[in-house]
Structure 1
Amino acid sequence: MPADGRGFVSAPTVQAGTASLPAAVRRDAAPVGDHPRRRALRTHLGTVAGVAILAVLLWRMGTGVFLEGLRRIDAPTLLAALGIGLVTTVFSAWRWALVARGLRIRLPLGPAVADYYRALFLNAALPGGVLGDVHRAVRHGRSAGDLGRGVRAVVLERAAGQLALIGVGVVVLLTMESPVLAGTRHLAPLVGMAVLGALAVVLALRMNRAPSCKGRAAAGALRATLREAREGLLSRRNLPGVAVSSVVVLAGHLAMFVLAARVAGSGASVAVLTPLAVLALLAMGLPLNVGGWGPREGVTAWAFGAAGLGAGTGLGVAVVYGVLSLVASLPGVAVLVVRWCEGLRGRSAPHRAPDGHYPRSPPGAVTVSDVSSEKHAPKESARLASSSFPFSAEPSEGRPMTPESV
Structure 2
Amino acid sequence: MAAMTVRLSPPHEGTAAPEGTATLRVREVLRLREVLRLRTVLGRPWVRAAVRALVGAVVLVAIVARVGTGPFLHGLLSLDGPTVVAALALTAVATGAAAWRWRLIAGRLGVGLRWSTAVGMYYRSQFVNTVLPGGVVGDVQRAVDHGRSAERVGPAARAVALERLLGQAVQVAIAVVVLGVFGMEFAGVLLPLLGVAVVAGVAGVAGVALASRRVRRALTHELGEVRAGLGSVGVFVQAVVASVLVCACHLATFAIAAAAVGAHVPPLRVLALGIVVLLAASIPVNLGGWGPREGAAGWAFAMAGFGAAAGISAATLYGVLAFVCFAPAALIAQSTLVVRRRRMRS
In structure 1, what is the equivalent of residue 121 of structure 2?
Answer: 115
Corresponding letter in the other structure for 2:151:
G
In structure 1, what is the equivalent of residue 20 of structure 2?
Answer: none
Give the superposition deviation at 1:64. 2.1
The answer to whether the 8 Å contact 1:178/1:272 transfers is: no
In structure 1, the gaps of 5 or more residues are 1-32, 352-406
**Alpha-carbon distance between aligned partners in 2 of 1:34 and 1:116, rounded to the nearest angstrom:** 32
- For 2:258, which of 261, 265, 289 is the aligned residue? 261
Give the superposition deviation at 1:59. 2.3
- For 2:304, which of 288, 304, 307 is the aligned residue? 307
Question: Is 1:251 aligned to 2:248, yes or no?
Answer: yes
Moved more, 50-59 or 142-151: 50-59
The answer to whether the 8 Å contact 1:81/1:327 transfers is: no
Question: Is 1:60 aligned to 2:66, yes or no?
Answer: yes
Corresponding letter in the other structure for 1:259:
I
Corresponding letter in the other structure for 2:60:
L
Q: 1:58 to 1:194 in 2, by over 3 A?
A: closer
Q: SS where residue 179 of structure 1 aligns?
A: helix
Give the superposition deviation at 1:247. 0.5
The answer to whether the 8 Å contact 1:178/1:276 transfers is: no
Give the superposition deviation at 1:47. 0.3
- For 1:289, which of 261, 286, 289 is the aligned residue? 286
- For 2:178, which of 163, 168, 172 is the aligned residue? 172
Give the superposition deviation at 1:337. 2.7
In structure 1, what is the equivalent of residue 36 of structure 2?
Answer: none
**Alpha-carbon distance between aligned partners in 2 of 1:185 and 1:120, rounded to the nearest angstrom:** 28
In structure 2, what is the equivalent of residue 337 of structure 1?
Answer: 335
Q: 1:190 to 1:70 in 2, by over 3 A?
A: closer
In structure 1, what is the equivalent of residue 163 of structure 2?
Answer: 157
The answer to whether the 8 Å contact 2:103/2:115 transfers is: yes
Task: Write the deviation string for residues 134-193 of structure 1: whole angstroms up to 9, x where unpaired.
Answer: 100001111111111111110001001100011111122222233322335666887788
The answer to whether the 8 Å contact 1:160/1:233 transfers is: no
Bigger relative contact order, structure 1 or 2, given CA contacts below 8 A and separation 6+? 2
Q: 1:313 to 1:335 in 2, by over 3 A?
A: same
Select the structure of larger CA radius of gyration: 1
CA-atom RMSD in angstroms: 2.8
**Alpha-carbon distance between aligned partners in 1 of 2:68 and 2:145, rounded to the nearest angstrom:** 42
Identity of aligned residues (%): 38
**Alpha-carbon distance between aligned partners in 2 of 1:157 and 1:193, rounded to the nearest angstrom:** 22
Question: Is 1:273 aligned to 2:279, yes or no?
Answer: no
In structure 2, what is the equivalent of residue 140 of structure 1?
Answer: 146
In structure 2, what is the equivalent of residue 101 of structure 1?
Answer: 107
Corresponding letter in the other structure for 2:314:
V
In structure 2, the gaps of 5 or more residues are 1-38
**Alpha-carbon distance between aligned partners in 1 of 2:170 and 2:98, rounded to the nearest angstrom:** 12
**Count of aligned residue pairs for this structure pair:** 307
Give the superposition deviation at 1:104. 1.7
Q: 1:40 to 1:185 in 2, by over 3 A?
A: closer
Task: Write the deviation string for residues 342-396 of structure 1: whole angstroms up to 9, x where unpaired.
Answer: 545666xxx4xxxxxxxxxxxxxxxxxxxxxxxxxxxxxxxxxxxxxxxxxxxxx
Corresponding letter in the other structure for 1:325:
A
Q: SS where residue 318 of structure 2 aligns?
A: helix
- For 2:314, which of 306, 312, 317 is the aligned residue? 317
Task: Map residues 365-380 of structure 1 onto 2, 5 A cutoff.
Answer: none
Q: 1:163 to 1:72 in 2, by over 3 A?
A: same
Give the superposition deviation at 1:128. 2.2
**Alpha-carbon distance between aligned partners in 2 of 1:191 and 1:131, rounded to the nearest angstrom:** 23
Give the superposition deviation at 1:35. 8.2
Moved more, 325-334 or 180-189: 180-189
Higher helix share: 2
Q: SS where residue 184 of structure 2 aligns?
A: coil
